[in-house]
Copies of this chain bind each other. A is one copy, B any other.
Amino acid sequence: MTVNVAVLGAGRIGKVHAKAIDATDGANLVAVVDAFEEAASALAKEHDARVDTIDAIAGAEDVDAVIICTPTDMHADLIEQFARAGKAIFCEKPIDLSIERTKSCLKTVEECDAVLMLGFNRRFDPHFQAVRAAIDADRIGEVEMVQIISRDPGAPPPSYIQKSGGIFRDMTIHDFDMARFLLGEEVTTVYATASVLVDPEIGKLGDYDSAMVVLTTASGKQCSISNSRRATYGYDQRIEVHGSKGAVAAENQRPVAIEVATAEGYVRPPLHDFFMTRYTEAYAAEIAAFVYAIENNVAPHPSGEDGLKALTLAEAALKSVAERRSVGVDEI
């Protein structure tokens, strides 16, 4: 069986996914859509696919699945349209910035019995997967505490911030998903603190650029998340998990692993510059997993529900900052 895929949105992440489809056995890129004709044409040409419209793709018999890489505010509508059209759907996070809209969208997905996978790419990073595998193999015993450090190399421009939904919905949301991936138990309370230390413009827009979050579960497990929009030394992405028998940690990744030793000391190069190079393998693996799920008729993960839960934690974090207290997830 070949899974024929259309990519909706030919921007940076659309290109990454198009390449991943190419590299996945059993998957074939057939169509590309983008509001910018030129972007669509270029990507289509590179992958021997056609340029098409959203509606045509929804009705096309030769399209089995779509990958939604459009701006966030189109996600929910597109998910619903393609759920109704019977296509398998891979959507970049988040489904929507509003929890209500996310819920209504997921209801439609459920009613249509549609296949929906969310783009929490980090779950597919080989290093983080090895962390999860170490836990599953009982190498560290029962999980007790999780530490996540996630720092972007630099702050995005104000125009991005404005549409982003804020640091918790845009950046921390990946860490919320990772926390759930690693804790193995649902989060019940969220505490967050946030400030503006990197770029005052971000503050003017009502957002934050530096945040710490503490999550707890019913059984007393705890997770700490540390976020900043600044890391001069590269894209800082670390997790560590402590259990009753030991701990497991994933180290930072750098493009070249050399060390220069001089009178000034030992110097290693900076980390990857950002997610496109850091998570190359993860992007390929998540698309392969999506194709595998379609081929084998199994439910893909992370699911729409996973998307909703991460968004709920983001909402709780915002409320926590505002009210300076620990917020129960059931309050959201």
* Chain A residues engaging chain B, CB cutoff 8 angstroms: 126-127, 129-131, 134, 139-140, 144-145, 147, 149, 151, 189, 191, 193, 195-198, 210-212, 214, 216, 219-222, 224, 226, 228, 230-233, 242, 244-251, 253, 255-270, 324-326
Contacts and interface: CB of A to CB of B under 8 A. Distances in A.
A43 to B, nearest CB: 15
B260 A247 contact: yes
Nearest to A125: B256
A59 to B, nearest CB: 29
A49 B212 CA distance: 52
A135 B80 CA distance: 53
7 contacts: A191-B214, A246-B263, A248-B259, A264-B270, A265-B269, A266-B270, A267-B268
Contacts of A195: 216, 219-222
B216 A214 contact: no
Contacts of A222: 193, 195, 210-212, 226
Given A220-B196, A220-B197, A265-B267, A242 B260 contact: no
B197 A258 contact: no
A137 B326 CA distance: 37
A179 to B, nearest CB: 12
Given A193-B191, A266-B270, A258 B131 contact: yes
Nearest to A134: B260
Nearest to A321: B326
A214 B213 CA distance: 8
B216 A230 contact: no
Given A195-B220, A222-B210, A228-B144, A251 B246 contact: no
Q: Which of A140, A151, A226 has the most CB of B within 10 A?
A: A226
Contacts of A230: 144, 242, 244
A46 to B, nearest CB: 10
A129 B255 CA distance: 12
Contacts of A267: 264-268
* Closest CB pairs A-B (n = 8): A195-B220, A246-B262, A233-B261, A325-B325, A130-B256, A324-B326, A266-B268, A232-B263
Contact of A149 (B147, B221, B256): B147
Contact of A258 (B251, B261, B326): B251
Contact of A257 (B151, B233, B250, B269): B250
B220 A258 contact: no
A224 B242 contact: no
A82 to B, nearest CB: 30
A74 B233 CA distance: 49
Contacts of A196: 220
A269 B324 CA distance: 41
A264 B140 CA distance: 12
Nearest to A260: B248
